[in-house]
Homo-oligomer: A and B are copies of this chain.
Amino acid sequence: MLSQTVSSNMLKPANAKHTIRCQDCRIKQLCLPVMLAESEIAHLDTIVHRGRPVNKGQHLIQAGDEFSGVFAVRSGSIKTYTVSIDGLEQITGFYLPGEIIGFDAISSGVYPGFAKALETSAVCEIPFSRLEQLAAEIPGLQHQIFRTMSQEIVKDQDLMLQLNKKSAEQRFGSFLVNLSFRFGRRGLSSQRFRLPMARSDISNYLGLAVETISRLIAQLQDEGLVSIQKREVEILDMHNLSKLAGTNCHN
């Protein structure tokens, strides 16, 4: 498994990327600029760092790194995970374009977990001290940061309920429904999509064994709810899948 930090491996020229502004960003309505005026977005844009794309398997954040800022996913997908003292890994989230990583680091000043690219991904770094300054000047921005953090809390609490009270089938069903919803919001098909993560990531996230995920896929296919070939998912019966999952749409 490759596991290098961002430094080498720069395949693409940075210049083209560098010219993308928040104002023109395809996903600005899913990201911090939501509800900001054009001029305010332009202001936000000035503090955003757009680095090179992060390759699959590369770490965007290492646990223990000093907190510098939050990261907005522009394209691709990122997984975040924490590691307990005894070495157990727990995936805490999968982040899609428009979603923001790193709010958990504010309280301690240190990133409490890791962030790793599931595929080649573009991310924007937003230095937090400058974001705070700007938030004090732009009420809509401050509010959006609060909203985003609040959403993260709701997401985590929802997952907590899943893990504590739901069966393996329900957890996996919810997971698919939630992903479907999030792809849909990004203008992609919510019927057909590609899982950006491995089975082992899904199982880790949901607190199940990899084998259980395989069994559940077979089971949901038998029931005619979904069709999954490798990582390609097709949802055949969203209604009943949602019902099974508890009609949940967390996040």
Interface set of A (CB-CB < 8 Å, partner B): 82, 84-86, 88, 90, 92, 103-108, 112-113, 132-133, 135-137, 139, 142-143, 145-154, 156-161, 163-166, 204, 206-207, 246-248
Q: Assembly of this chain: how many copies?
A: 2
Closest residue of B by beta carbon distance from A149: B149
Extra pairs beyond A90-B157, A135-B142, A164-B207 (19, CB < 8 Å): A82-B157, A82-B161, A84-B165, A88-B166, A92-B157, A103-B149, A104-B157, A106-B149, A107-B148, A133-B139, A135-B136, A136-B136, A136-B139, A136-B142, A149-B150, A153-B153, A153-B156, A156-B156, A156-B157
Please indicate the chain B residues that have their CB under 8 angstroms from the CB of A112 in the complex: 154, 157
Residue on B with the closest CB to A242? B85
- Taking a contact as CB atoms under 8 Å apart, the answer to whether B153 and A142 are in contact is no
B156 touches A160 (CB 8 A): yes
Q: Which residues on B sit within 8 Å (CB–CB) of A84? A: 161, 165, 246, 248
By beta carbon, the residue of chain B nearest A157 is B92
Please tell me which one of the listed residues B86, B132, B150, B247 contacts residue A106 in the complex, with CB atoms under 8 A apart: B150
Provide the bound-state CA to CA distance between A216 and B113, in Å. Answer: 30
Is B164 within 8 A of A104, CB to CB? no
